[in-house]
Amino acid sequence: MALWAVRAAQAQDVPPGVLQFLRRHEEEEAQHLKQFELLLGMNSYGKTVLPRMPSQWRVLAVHLYGYETVGLEFARLLVGLRPDLTSILEDEEVHVGFFEHEVCTILVHGGPVADGARLAAQAWRRRLPPTVNRYLHDESFASVRDELHRHILGEIDARFLAVGLSAGCEGGSPKAES
């Protein structure tokens, strides 16, 4: 689900072990994309320019974690309709788990590094609603779009809160929801 972000992230300076995971991860995301294209009978628009990814690991890890959580929610939706595609959901659970662990490793340091990760999470979360809207653009979502939008953002907020990334945790003021 996060193919382009995962591909672009490999150009950044990441901790040992992460690059290896990203390479395998990219293969899985490319496979998922192919399955989606077959399913939907269309080609995704071929991106030639990769998105610009943050160079600081604390920020990059938060972005990848965020995109993976979105991917996981969409995989859940998909498997609700197509239980035969459970392997996609399983892959996404692994991806989310990997970056959740990386984010927790960053947060456990405390201090400015952890604060930087939290700030990155707040900024990423502020930009999330239009992104989710874009993913829900297809007319097949029309009747459930608002509900799904709320649900997906709610799930991501709950995760960010649980891992200590959101302002509602560890002494920050509770974050207002958009």
**Given the rule CB under 5 A, which residues bind Fe ion?**
68, 71, 92, 95
What tokens appear for 155 in the block? 């799930």
Min. distance of Cβ 70 from Fe ion in angstroms? 9
Which residue's CB comes closest to Fe ion? Answer: 95
Radius of gyration from C-alpha coordinates of the chain: 16
The CA distances from residue 164 to 27, 59, 67, 85, in Å, are: 30, 15, 17, 31
Min. distance of Cβ 24 from Fe ion in angstroms? 11
| Closest CB to Fe ion among residues 69, 166 | 69
| Closest CB to Fe ion among residues 27, 170 | 27
Min. distance of Cβ 74 from Fe ion in angstroms? 10
| Closest CB to Fe ion among residues 29, 157 | 29
Centre a 10 Å sphere on the Cβ of residue 99 and count the other Cβ atoms it contains. Answer: 23
The CA distances from residue 26 to 20, 38, 75, 90, in Å, are: 10, 18, 16, 15
Min. distance of Cβ 172 from Fe ion in angstroms? 28
8 Å CB contact between 79 and 89: yes
Min. distance of Cβ 61 from Fe ion in angstroms? 14
| Closest CB to Fe ion among residues 33, 104 | 33
Closest CA to 166 of 130, 115, 132: 115
| Closest CB to Fe ion among residues 70, 167 | 70
What tokens appear for 116 in the block? 């930087």
